[in-house]
Amino acid sequence: MSSSSRTPELAAWSPALDRPTLRAIALVCLADAIVGASFGAISVSGGLPLWVPVVLSVVVFAGGSQFAAVGVLLAGGSPLAAVAAGLVLNARLLPFGFAVADLLDGPWWRRLLRAHLLTDESVAFALQQSDPRRRRAAYLTCGATLFVSWNIAVLLGAAAGTAIGDTDALGLDAAFPAVLLALVLPVLRTERPTRNAALLGAALAVAATPFLPPGVPILLALAGLLLAGGRRGPVPAS
């Protein structure tokens, strides 16, 4: 019996990703780890017990939703309101799931585990690959390494929360949007329809932010896709 037949799950990882893709994944994980440490520190320094950000990171594994939920709790909102805020923000992942549905195959437990790794970053790196096996390798590599680095960083940040103090003063809250901007800048420079769609979406989100609950302006920004005419360009890796 061959080694691949003994470990069928590992066979999906066999295609070697190119070095630029692996480097880009590592940089994204590093940037997200900084954000994860900030999330843990903000949660604990705001008065939440250490287990709250840790459990959220393992079970939810969605940075934006975690920040939204904790923000509601720290502002005095109810747990139900916190859950609602997280669900609204995570609604954007539904179309992402359709985009990588071919990667979520196998028994139910494997589909569940792979779906848990679905993030903006893992989907972006998967869609960059044209070969189906490399798509799966990129998705699993990014998702798994991001899950590990994020959760370790949140734990360390939560443990050091009382010592860090004001995390906003350190600029840690800007790390996550900065890395997402770095991911899309190359295609914004080269793809005019995508650039127009992004500008319209950003304008709608900014204009709606003072009037709508957190998370809803992000969903409203999807209206900018109408300018793209359904055209899908390449997703940059760095």
Tell me the CA distances in angstroms from 48 to 25, 43, 73, one per residue in order.
Answer: 31, 6, 9
The per-residue pLDDT for 104 is 85
Contact 134, 100 (CB under 8 A): no
The per-residue pLDDT for 190 is 66
Helices (H), the chain: 3-6, 8-11, 19-45, 51-59, 63-74, 79-90, 93-99, 108-116, 120-128, 132-159, 161-164, 175-190, 192-208, 216-220
Query: How many structural domains compose the chain?
Result: 1
* Residue whose tokens read 């959220």: 56
Contact 32, 176 (CB under 8 A): yes
As a whole number of angstroms, the distance between CA 32 and CA 124 comes to 15
Per-residue tens of pLDDT for the chain, all 238 residues: 444 444 444 444 545 788 888 998 999 899 889 888 888 888 888 788 889 899 999 999 988 788 878 877 877 777 887 888 778 778 778 888 888 888 888 888 888 999 899 988 888 898 888 888 888 999 999 999 999 999 999 999 888 876 665 655 555 555 555 655 665 666 667 677 777 777 887 888 788 878 876 556 766 676 766 655 544 444 443 3
Residue at 238 is within a domain = no
Residue at 5 is within a domain = no
Residue at 53 is within a domain = yes
Question: Residue type at 59?
Answer: V
Rg (CA), the chain: 19
Residue at 126 is within a domain = yes
The per-residue pLDDT for 2 is 46
The per-residue pLDDT for 92 is 74
As a whole number of angstroms, the distance between CA 78 and CA 153 comes to 26
Residue at 23 is within a domain = yes
The per-residue pLDDT for 185 is 67
* Residue whose tokens read 């914004």: 188
Residue at 6 is within a domain = no
Domain that holds residue 66: 18-228
Residue at 204 is within a domain = yes
Tell me the CA distances in angstroms from 150 to 53, 72, 99, 142, one per residue in order.
Answer: 11, 21, 24, 12
Residue at 233 is within a domain = no
